[in-house]
Structure 1
Amino acid sequence: MSWAVGVKDSQIKDLIVQPGSESRSRLRGLLTLRLAGLDVNDSALKMIVRHMPSLRRLDLSHCQGLTDQSINLLTATGCNTRNTLRQLNLSGCNKLTDACLSYMKRLSALALLDLRGCRNVTRRGCENFISDLSYCTVFCLTEDKLIQRIS
């Protein structure tokens, strides 16, 4: 659904949740979700976390409503995405800061994190993220703000 014009949280909810049932999802087994350039906010992230327990790849690039708190929601205790999410693209999300990197440390399966074009995320912050996780996983900075697992 990337770059679809006029798609908001309400339309995303209609796609995810079965009508008349807030607890049943149409996309429960979905592995990849691309919402690049959409007007995604925290309520959509809550639905994604709740209704897509197997999600492995999530593209939220250029979603201008995302904040550090949004990443906190995505990686919160009890969320399946905390253990399943392998690739997360947040490139061009300009409200994110280095503070979001502390939440990213919760993603135990993370293999690729794209923060290119995030003006308020620094290279130093990315280097600190890699250093902090070096006791359990080896990551490298392959490009400016593109973090990949190498072991």
Structure 2
Amino acid sequence: MAEKEKLRIDKYLWSIRLFKTRTLASDACKAGRVKLNGSNIKPSHEVKLGEVYQVSKGPDRKIVKVTGLLESRTDAKTAVGFYADITPVEQTPAFKSMFHAPMLKRDRGTGRPTKRDRREIDDLKDDLMENKAEEN
């Protein structure tokens, strides 16, 4: 792929597919959700090989190390070769989801639960909490 000597951080984050648009990447930089060594950076910051960036995108946090400079957006398989995701396992969404209780959902359009339904839901929630407390 085409590599460049100079590349802006917003364009880099867009090209490695961390953000859907370059504008979203630029806005994240302006809002302080992209950091280099703990300090906020501007969208015009020049990316260098070996730098490590912390990127926050909603509840997800990624730590990305630059391994190559990618000028234009390409397919996901190619883009993976231009960065290393060094996010600790404890911070990944899959790891966090193991510790959450299952969501109880009702089918759409069924209306409000009856008094009987509500009691069954409460009993089920209480059982889940008791089991979780016993595990710890």
| Both proteins in one fold, TM over 0.5 | no
> TM-score interval w.r.t. the shorter chain?
under 0.3
RCO higher in 1 or 2 (8 Å CA, sep ≥ 6)? 2
Normalised to the residue count of structure 1, the TM-score between the two structures is 0.20
Query: Normalized against structure 2, the TM-score is what?
Result: 0.21
Rg comparison, structure with higher value? 2
